[in-house]
């Protein structure tokens, strides 16, 4: 695999072996590319469920796959589940971004901007309720009910205990029920 450098010249990808002027990816690089290709649709869905934005989801997936690609041989050597590693990396990156955004300083005047079309699901009460959950609770709910993972798999993916998974799911569902019942009350 060749990656184009800023000066326009092709350079071998990390993990590639250069032989007689051409580069060939090593076995680990080929395994990673196969993993990334096979996992991409599910990771994008998971990222979208975490962020509510297809663009932020793609950024999360890219960040997590970059980290996994750089550590791929170590991940494989330690018999770590690569999908759990990438999901945990995505959840951690999402929480970090959320914390950074919380510290952003708001200004009085908004810049002029064009009208944008809202995402299809932004107005749906269920997605609004999901977006209102704290990042860890949202990650647990998404992995449990959207990705259909067990509590043990969620714990491994997020690097938390099974008890924490249970408590976060319980808190999230309680908040979700409250939010959804108030929405249903307004519809009547």
The residue range of the domain holding 174 is: 17-102+122-187
Is there a domain that residue 112 lies in?
no
Provide the pLDDT for residue 60: 93
Is there a domain that residue 107 lies in?
no
Number of independent structural domains in the chain = 1
Integer Cα distance of 148 and 144 in angstroms: 5
Give the 3-state secondary structure of residue 112. Answer: coil
Residue 23 has pLDDT above 80, yes or no: no
Could you tell me the CATH number of the domain that includes residue 151?
1.20.140.160
Mean pLDDT of the chain: 78
Is there a domain that residue 31 lies in?
yes
Length of the chain: 188
Compute how many other C-beta atoms are within 10 angstroms of the C-beta atom of residue 49.
20
Confidence band of 97 (pLDDT split at 50, 70, 90): confident
Residue 36 has pLDDT above 90, yes or no: yes
Is there a domain that residue 180 lies in?
yes
pLDDT 10s digits, 3-20: 443 444 444 444 444 344
Is there a domain that residue 2 lies in?
no
CB distance 76 to 28 below 8 Å? yes
Is there a domain that residue 113 lies in?
no
Provide the pLDDT for residue 112: 60
**φ/ψ bin of 119: left (φ > 0), alpha (ψ from -120 to 50), beta (otherwise):** beta
Is there a domain that residue 152 lies in?
yes
Is there a domain that residue 115 lies in?
no
Tokens of 8: 């326009």
pTM of the model: 0.52
């Amino acid at each position: 695999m060749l990656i184009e450098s800023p000066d326009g010249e092709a350079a071998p990808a990390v993990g590639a072996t250069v032989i007689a002027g051409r580069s060939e990816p090593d076995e680990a690089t080929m395994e990673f590319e196969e993993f990334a290709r096979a996992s991409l649709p599910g990771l994008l869905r998971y990222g979208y469920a975490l962020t509510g934005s297809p663009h932020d989801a793609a950024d999360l997936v890219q960040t997590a796959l970059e980290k996994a690609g750089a550590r791929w041989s170590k991940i494989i050597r330690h018999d770590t589940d690569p999908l759990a590693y990438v999901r945990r990396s995505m959840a951690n990156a999402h929480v970090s971004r959320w914390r950074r955004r919380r510290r952003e300083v708001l200004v009085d005047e908004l810049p002029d901007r064009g009208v944008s079309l809202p995402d299809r699901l932004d107005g749906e009460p269920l997605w609004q309720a999901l977006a209102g959950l704290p990042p860890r609770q949202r990650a647990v709910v998404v992995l449990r009910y959207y990705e259909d993972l067990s509590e043990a798999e969620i714990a491994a993916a997020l690097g938390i205990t099974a008890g924490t998974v249970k408590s976060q799911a319980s808190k999230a569902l309680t908040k979700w029920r409250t939010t959804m019942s108030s929405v249903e009350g307004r519809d009547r």
